[in-house]
Structure 1
């Protein structure tokens, strides 16, 4: 049977705005021969995003796919649609995510200290001290615990559980013999670093940070399992490479459009370079000593792309980086 297409197929979740939108924008301009699947929950927002991409000069094929990452029905339907139309998936980019750390943009002054005190906001709200096991605590009611559990469940379900489920659902397409360099790229956060949390080198986001720490661990485990599979089965299909990328704090709806931080297209750069294999040499930072070294190839631990050492509000220690197990 002839292949349905010989074009590279790239799927980006949560791609109607912010970082996801810019990933497709930057990648499509740089590699217009690929097909980009813009996945998002809201079809109208997705169509508007595709219109904006065209206005920005994107000539590549961009297809809209309805995908709520927390919906099992949507995941199954997405796999079926891509299987029937393309029969392959070269790059899966997990960009969709939520946070309990910031209020709606209309309520946000751009100052983290101005975030409203709500029980659901365990980042800086009245239960923050309780959550961090501080000395000043209150007796929690069942309503308090229910609110906290709801927030934990929502954030972890979107940022961690859904990544695991979608990665599993798309395995047959990623392992297609048509795909030579399958990649799964997950967007993490500087808040995922246990080392820097302990050293107070970044702001803290209890639930969101924990979800991204879990995402890092999930990626390691998936890569280890994939390595075992390839060793056992031989080279019948290409090895899937699992990457974790930290694009920095970006000026998007996700952060309430705070001033003084990176534009989303800057953060997209680290993802795009992995997506289209433009990285040939990395600078990398040892997570313990923070020393710099130079290496070649993709199998480095924490990779710095070029020498972006600028400091940004609230994240003074995080240049763009990427990691692969």
Structure 2
């Protein structure tokens, strides 16, 4: 990595919004060296290779990281430390949606990735972010995690569905605020990035397209805009398709 590059780690980036975020950053600027976080290194390598076939301006490489496994998270942090000595931007993007019919099991599965995994990765990489001259910490959230909208009969998010996933994204809102309160005195910029309803294989893409879902590159650009600093006026908040997403 060239010394002048901004080092960005995006978890869950071998596909979907994470991949599109990386693509948006790399196509638009030579400022970034992107680490594609992936549970399966084979898939991550293939995704990095696919990006390299495009006219990207920055640099990209895969890195193995399973956010549910402490050993994997710690190994990824150790690799970044020994290779680069710092991290400039962490994008907590990895997330899952469970179709497990048993609510208690679905909650455990989802929270392990979408909440506990986020804390695990953030805490492991905070020492490396502190070595950056302009550290940036980003949580990829969702409008379905907004309690205000969930309680509003006039909102499209007023529906008793996907309880486990929605609760995990509501928890992410609190994590965002708490890290912002904690880290702003250390020159950190902490954000939430809400890509909106996007047609990825996270759920059935054709089904969500019928509900007005946008294509993955749109969601990736919404997250990339936060990474680039386009939304810095909204630091400490969840930046979404309509401005600042309500809590």
TM-score when scaled to structure 2?
0.89
> Contact 1:300–1:324 (CA<8 Å) still a contact in 2?
no
Change in 2 beyond 3 A, CA 1:74/1:321: farther
Q: CA deviation at 1:256?
A: 1.5
Between Structure 1 and Structure 2, the one with more helix by share is: 2
Q: Distance in 2 between matches of 1:68 and 1:302?
A: 25
In the alignment, which residue of structure 2 is the partner of 1:12? 10
Alignment of 1:114-263 (within 5 A): 120-121=100-101, 147-176=102-131, 179-200=132-153, 201=155, 202=157, 203=159, 204-227=161-184, 230=185, 238-258=186-206, 259-260=209-210, 261-263=213-215
Deviation per CA, 1:44-78: give whole Å up to 9, x if none: 11111112112222242111101111010111100
Deviation per CA, 1:94-133: give whole Å up to 9, x if none: 11100125xxxxxxxxxxxxxxxxxx33xxxxxxxxxxxx
Change in 2 beyond 3 A, CA 1:24/1:57: same
In the alignment, which residue of structure 1 is the partner of 2:95? 97
Q: CA deviation at 1:218?
A: 1.1
Q: Does 2:227 align with 1:275?
A: yes
Q: Distance in 1 between matches of 2:83 and 2:242?
A: 35
Secondary structure of 1:225's aligned partner? helix
TM-score when scaled to structure 1?
0.68
Q: Distance in 1 between matches of 2:236 and 2:12?
A: 27
* Structure 2: gaps (5+ residues): none
> Contact 2:29–2:57 (CA<8 Å) still a contact in 1?
no
Q: Computing the radius of gyration over CA atoms, which structure comes out larger, 1 or 2?
A: 1
Matched length: 239
Q: CA deviation at 1:255?
A: 2.0
> Contact 2:17–2:217 (CA<8 Å) still a contact in 1?
yes
> Contact 1:303–1:323 (CA<8 Å) still a contact in 2?
yes
> Contact 1:43–1:66 (CA<8 Å) still a contact in 2?
yes
Change in 2 beyond 3 A, CA 1:33/1:155: same
* Structure 1: gaps (5+ residues): 102-119, 122-146, 231-237, 281-296, 305-318
Change in 2 beyond 3 A, CA 1:72/1:300: closer
Secondary structure of 2:205's aligned partner? coil
> Contact 1:246–1:322 (CA<8 Å) still a contact in 2?
no
Q: Distance in 2 between matches of 1:90 and 1:208?
A: 29
> Contact 2:192–2:239 (CA<8 Å) still a contact in 1?
no
Alignment of 1:72-91 (within 5 A): 72-91=70-89
Q: 2:234 aligns with which of 298, 301, 308?
A: 298
| Greater mean deviation of Cα atoms: 149-158 or 16-25 | 149-158
> Contact 2:6–2:88 (CA<8 Å) still a contact in 1?
yes
